[in-house]
């Protein structure tokens, strides 16, 4: 059984739009997860280690103030389109749309005020919580009234995150959760002692602004071959990599399948990622710089966390040979990602 509790997390100021931010606590025998109605943010996730002790394995803040300041999307649902759109421009059905540029020359994670920075309407379920919002036509430059539901369900060691959406006009959409993990416990210095594997035969090379070049490159014989588990620190050294911030191309199937696994040998903590999505962005916290004070007043230096963001491929709206990212009025967007936590 999963226990579901709710409490007030904080109050937004009038400038921020007012409104009460709630925190929902989902608790099973092996996992406890805390989720905010602001941005559907996973603000804490506690799991057991080999010793039976619980540790919080996601980065974030103790108070609402932390989340209201600029931060790198800790724990948030990002949209309407996760990742980057080149020059913030795209054409749908012959009409050009221009988005706000918030990442150099590109649009990132939905724009200036994306899904991560707004209040969602919660509905408590027996084993979880469903958040709803209507993203109005023209919000951040995107077409169509978009109804969005994000549901978190906890069962034992498995956290399921389901994303559903319906639109009144054709629009690009790609939703993900941007949680930053460190299985040694948040606030630990780095992730070099983690083993990572990703079930992908190809990845997307990117230009200087992190936009895919359009090439779908084989991982074979490169530092991007993570089909067998690699120890992250040694692997980055061996291939002279500064870190990862790349989309890995998954098997194109609508069904649930294992797509990635992270394992921390010292504590035996393991996280498996299963998903229906066509891609996964592996990011090693390259832009963390120690300037943010996180939970328990710890700092988060470079490479102190990783993200495994299941999503459509970056800039797919401008690349016809990438998986389709356009949702039409007679269709429903429906994807699920399952995070499975264990001491395996």
180 assigned to a ligand binding site? yes
179 assigned to a ligand binding site? yes
Residue 331 appears among annotated catalytic residues: no
Residue 65 appears among annotated catalytic residues: no
* Cis peptide bond upstream of 249, omega within 30: no
Active-site residue (options: 109, 178, 264, 335):
178
Phi, psi values for residue 322, rounded to 5°: -85, 165
Question: Helix (H, G, I), strand (E, B), or coil: what is residue 282?
Answer: strand
Question: Helix (H, G, I), strand (E, B), or coil: what is residue 88?
Answer: helix
By C-alpha distance, which of 313, 289, 316 is closest to 301? Answer: 289
Nearest-angstrom CA–CA distance, 222 and 215: 15
Nearest-angstrom CA–CA distance, 318 and 314: 9
Nearest-angstrom CA–CA distance, 50 and 269: 7
163 assigned to a ligand binding site? no
E strands in 171-319: 171-172, 176-177, 195-198, 202-203, 217-218, 230-231, 245-249, 257-264, 269-275, 279-283, 307-311
Q: How many other CB atoms are there within 10 angstroms of residue 101's CB atom?
A: 16
194 assigned to a ligand binding site? no
Phi, psi values for residue 74, rounded to 5°: -50, 120
Active-site residue (options: 34, 139, 195, 309):
309
By C-alpha distance, which of 166, 210, 209, 172 is closest to 96? Answer: 172
Q: Which residues are annotated as a binding site?
A: 83-84, 178-180, 245
Q: Which residues are annotated as a binding site for beta-D-galactose?
A: 83-84, 178-180, 245
Active site residues: 178, 309
């Amino acid at each position: 059984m999963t226990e579901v509790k709710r409490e007030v997390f904080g109050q937004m100021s009038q400038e921020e739009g007012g409104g009460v931010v709630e925190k929902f606590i989902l608790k099973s025998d092996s996992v406890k997860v805390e989720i905010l109605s602001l941005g559907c943010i996973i603000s804490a996730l506690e799991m057991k280690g080999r010793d039976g002790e619980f540790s919080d394995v996601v980065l974030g803040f103790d108070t609402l103030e932390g989340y209201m300041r600029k931060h790198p999307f800790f724990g948030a649902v990002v949209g309407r389109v996760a990742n980057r759109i080149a020059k913030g421009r795209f054409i749908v059905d012959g009409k050009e749309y221009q988005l706000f540029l918030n990442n150099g020359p590109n649009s990132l994670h939905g724009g200036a005020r994306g899904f991560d920075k707004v209040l969602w309407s919660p509905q408590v379920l027996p084993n979880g919580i469903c958040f709803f919002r209507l993203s109005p036509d023209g919000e951040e430059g995107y077409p169509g009234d978009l109804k969005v539901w994000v549901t978190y369900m906890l069962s034992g060691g498995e956290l399921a995150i389901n994303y559903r959406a319906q639109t009144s006009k054709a629009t690009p959409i790609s939703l993900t959760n941007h949680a930053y993990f460190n299985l040694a416990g948040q606030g630990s210095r780095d992730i070099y002692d983690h083993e990572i594997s990703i079930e992908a035969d190809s990845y997307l090379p990117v230009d200087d602004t992190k936009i895919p070049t359009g090439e779908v490159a084989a991982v074979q014989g490169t530092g991007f071959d993570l089909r067998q588990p690699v120890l992250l620190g040694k692997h980055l050294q061996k291939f002279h990599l500064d870190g990862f911030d790349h989309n890995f191309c998954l098997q194109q199937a609508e069904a649930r399948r294992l797509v990635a696994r992270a394992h921390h040998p010292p504590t035996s903590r393991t996280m498996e990622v299963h998903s229906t999505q066509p891609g996964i962005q592996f990011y090693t916290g390259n832009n963390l710089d120690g300037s943010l004070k996180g939970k328990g007043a710890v700092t988060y230096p470079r490479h102190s966390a990783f993200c495994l963001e299941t999503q459509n491929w970056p800039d797919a709206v401008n690349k016809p040979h990438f998986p389709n990212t356009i949702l039409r009025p007679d269709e429903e967007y429906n994807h699920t990602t399952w995070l499975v936590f264990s001491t395996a």
